[in-house]
Structure 1
Amino acid sequence: MPTPKPRIAILGNRVPGLNIPELEHFTDLGSLLAAVAFDVVLLDMPAAYAAKVLRKLRSIEPYRYTLIYCCRDQDGWCEALGDGAYPIESSEIKTQWASWQERFRLFRQGSGQERFESRVLTWLWLRDNAQVYALRDPEVPQHYRYPLLDALADNEPVNSFVWLSLMVQQDWLEEGVLVDRVRLCSDCGSGRLNYIDVCAECHALDISRQPSLHCFTCGHVGPQESFLKDAVLLCPNCLNRLRHIGSDYDRPMENYRCRSCQAFFVDAEVQARCLDCGLSHSPDKLRVREVRDFRLAEAGRFRCRQEFSERSARHFGRLNLLGGKDFFELLNWQIQIVRRYSLPAFSLIGLRFVNLAGTLTRLGEQRGHAFVDSVAERLQESVRETDRCSRSTEEYFWIMLPHTDEKGLESVKQRLGRVAELFSAPEISDVSLRVVSITAPKDLIDQEDAELLVARLAGELGDAP
């Protein structure tokens, strides 16, 4: 069966040297939108114009997920919303589109497009190594925005920073490069702050740097100008003449003077005044926010692979899958109970599907999806309703069995042996199943918590996840 060819449109100029017979040329965005939606779009225009076009295309459904390449220079908006520079060879465009199309078919089978969360995860999942990029923008109070989230929000009110934090907590996304660290008003959350020096005594704004003198005779400290009389240094308090610095007087460290309360001080107090709400804060009271790029986590990629199919969602939903953080919290609770009371015992099973990730890539999205679906069915037959599971990567699967001693553990492991029967077919013979397990409290190490326990078992399974 021949590989289908994508319909490709170019907006702007024609790219010289790009040999694509089926390429259709448009000179303006309106004419492109009036035509039937294309599979691939090339933008041959300066970055500033390409960014505006990208913002428009990503905000409308026909081009929300489409592969869009920029043919010239790229700015931050192009990197955040586009698919990079256009490939030189037309065959590479077709290869990338074929991979995209295979994943997109799975997406359309499910109901993932209905929620903002699924729209963002899907956009990332459809592209290898895609990220949610932070872009510096002086127009927003927090100084940074996430163009992809803005484009996919579809008029929903979304707090990008809060939403991203929630996705990280649920293990769907993981943190990438640290872009910046900003300080925000603790009241309104704005980053538009003015740092001002104020009087250390009365907190007035009207202060000035002014040289001062200190009379050793009476201890008086005052501005240097008040000591000058007829070109002679004379203390205005005790009227003694000051001849020698170090024996009659010196210059104190206090060289700031407040014009409101006349106080002298060494260093002014710094306040951060919000330019939006007007409140002043001590700098140590400001909210500190790290601005990062984000990428799809292994658990998020696994969710995308499975949840866009109703049948797969039904199977894996019954496995009681937990995110990594929730799983560790529950496991820590079980560890604390058995250490304090010894009973009831619990067991933990670690499974590693060796070479699964590579096999899924070789099988392709459709066949790989069907294979993982069959694995889910076998796992569901082995896992009880009271058990809790977590998946740290494509290859690693964890099962926590409450109220399960060594005898009960062996029974579950025997049922899990049926999963390995699926790896007998020639195309998936490279996949093998490794199993490791412990029963607590007998197999626990002193001072070992959930993360250390999982790391120890992962080491026994092979490479750490």
Structure 2
Amino acid sequence: MSTPNPRIAVFGHKVSSSNIPEIEHFSDLSSLLAAPIFDVLLLDMPAAYAGRVLRKLRSTPAYRYQLVYCCRDQDSWCEALGDGTCPAETSEIKMLWEIWRERFNLFRQGSAPERFEGRVLSWLWLRADAHVYALRDPEVPQHYRYPLLEALADAEQVNPFVWLSLMVQHDWLEEGVLVDRVRLCSDCGSGRLNYIDVCAECQAMDISRQPSLHCFTCGHVGHQESFLKDGVLLCPNCLNRLRHIGSDYDRPLENYRCRSCQAFFVDADVQARCLDCGLSHAPDKLRIREVRDFHLTEAGRFRCRQDFNDRSIDHFGRLNLLGGKDFFELLTWQLQVVRRYKQPAFSLIGLRFVNLAGTLARLGEHRGHAFIDSLTDRLKESVRETDRCSRSTEEFFWIMLPHTDGKGLEFVAQRLSQVAELFSAPEVSDISLRVVSFTAPGDLLEKEDGELLLARLASELI
């Protein structure tokens, strides 16, 4: 049975800097976990302690998705696992909780997804503008970790970097801010590397910077000490006295001497030695990894709306939805084929549902979800099995029609125009449909690829 107000608990000290009445207070984590689940938790403790508590809470199924706010300063763990600073008023907490609850109730009548990818995507979708944040940590071999993925993994063995790359390929997550660029051992993948100077000839590590002299008479080069004899400079090779620098001798550029092979050289070679596996690598042979934050894409949000069950995924699967990158690449390939062979013709239709995002927000999650279902059903009637679709934003929908010329395009566009009948109801009357089309090879522009084509057509829909 749903409650009109969230059950709020304070963990730590009493919240004195806000106007939120303390409903229940806990100073012991075991007592909190033993009590009935609260809707909202307020952590009133220093950031270092709050981060540790958040790690425990997010690893516990009961508080995996719940709203948890930090009432004091926040560190990186708090930012990665918490919901931000504690709101000052109870009304604000209630409003945020109602939005959260409405979304959470879409998951199989309030039961959260069981698979790891579903847990992560759901956690992000339940919060506005949530991210998977990278946290710098010298204790891990790669120097960075993703606290949210670790907390939601349970007992599963997950490689965060590989998993995030896979989610980007599926177009469910999108790369965000570039946090850092690290170099890793090519063998074991560790970032614990020691860069050392070695001899340019024999690669020995026992080298030293040592001044040397060059005799112009015989060309001998040696360290400076070997030229000193009874307080004067004598070449140890030809025994000529060296009086004037520039005419009798000079100082060569070779400043390093190897104690193993006695070689002289200007610059030492550099090796990167892995402190974990012990192997040495040339710096240009190291693996380079970009560390980024990540956030949900439009496709990821759609997957969350569809409850992660097989029926819903198939429901959208019949629209043959492709991620943005895959759709760009397929469209570019079609353009290349037509540009070279002039056939077969194909067409592209762009639909913009103006004010769709605002209308869905006003309808709420449940009614908006039902409206999206009806809209998808109507689109499905017009999309053929061989067509491919994609969404670039909440309002933009693209359909690629292989083997479809101008006449075929007119027929499909006529069927798609019937979608606008859904917007006759008063609650969705703010939505309007705009359509743009393209047919190749007739509408081809020189050197235009798939991404540029979509951008040009999208500008006609604004």
CA contact (8 A) 1:106 1:366 kept: yes
Report SS of the residue matched to 2:105: helix
User: CA separation of 1:385/1:364 partners in 2, compared to 1, >3 Å: closer, same or farther?
Assistant: same
Q: Does 1:416 align with 2:433?
A: no
For residue 363 of structure 2, what is the amino acid of its counterpart? L
CA contact (8 A) 1:110 1:307 kept: no
1:79 aligns with 79
2-structure distance, mates of 1:308, 1:227 = 80
For residue 392 of structure 1, what is the amino acid of its counterpart? S
Report SS of the residue matched to 2:41: strand
Percent of residue pairs bearing the same amino acid type: 81
Report SS of the residue matched to 1:332: helix
For residue 193 of structure 1, what is the amino acid of its counterpart? L
Report SS of the residue matched to 1:114: coil
1:436 aligns with 436
User: CA separation of 1:172/1:110 partners in 2, compared to 1, >3 Å: closer, same or farther?
Assistant: farther
2-structure distance, mates of 1:17, 1:42 = 12
Shift of 1:277: 0.7
Q: Does 1:65 align with 2:31?
A: no
1:115 aligns with 115
Matches within 5 A, 1:41-440: 41-109=41-109, 113-308=113-308, 312-440=312-440
User: CA separation of 1:110/1:385 partners in 2, compared to 1, >3 Å: closer, same or farther?
Assistant: farther
User: CA separation of 1:107/1:290 partners in 2, compared to 1, >3 Å: closer, same or farther?
Assistant: same
TM-score, reference length from structure 2: 0.96
TM-score, reference length from structure 1: 0.96
Report SS of the residue matched to 1:91: helix
2-structure distance, mates of 1:85, 1:108 = 30
Shift of 1:308: 4.3
2-structure distance, mates of 1:84, 1:54 = 12
User: CA separation of 1:112/1:45 partners in 2, compared to 1, >3 Å: closer, same or farther?
Assistant: closer
Shift of 1:30: 0.3
Report SS of the residue matched to 2:306: helix
1-structure distance, mates of 2:308, 2:287 = 38
Shift of 1:265: 0.4
Shift of 1:111: 7.9
CA contact (8 A) 2:210 2:255 kept: yes
RMSD of aligned C-alpha atoms? 1.6
Deviates more, 1:28-37 or 1:304-313: 304-313
2-structure distance, mates of 1:294, 1:362 = 27
For residue 399 of structure 2, what is the amino acid of its counterpart? I
User: CA separation of 1:342/1:112 partners in 2, compared to 1, >3 Å: closer, same or farther?
Assistant: farther
Report SS of the residue matched to 1:86: coil
Report SS of the residue matched to 2:189: coil
CA contact (8 A) 1:14 1:44 kept: yes
Q: Deviations over 1:171-220 (max 9, x none)?
A: 21112111111100011100000000000000000000000000011110
Shift of 1:222: 0.3
CA contact (8 A) 2:18 2:89 kept: yes
Shift of 1:423: 1.1
Shift of 1:338: 2.1
2-structure distance, mates of 1:61, 1:307 = 18
2-structure distance, mates of 1:57, 1:96 = 19
Shift of 1:230: 0.7
CA contact (8 A) 1:388 1:401 kept: yes
Q: Deviations over 1:344-399 (max 9, x none)?
A: 21111111111111111122111111111111111011111111111111011110
Deviates more, 1:287-296 or 1:204-213: 287-296
Shift of 1:324: 1.2
Report SS of the residue matched to 2:437: strand
CA contact (8 A) 1:109 1:308 kept: no
Aligned residues: 461
Deviates more, 1:295-304 or 1:375-384: 295-304
Shift of 1:72: 1.4
Shift of 1:442: 1.3
Deviates more, 1:267-276 or 1:48-57: 48-57
Stretches of structure 1 lacking an aligned partner (at least 5 in a row): none
CA contact (8 A) 2:215 2:248 kept: yes
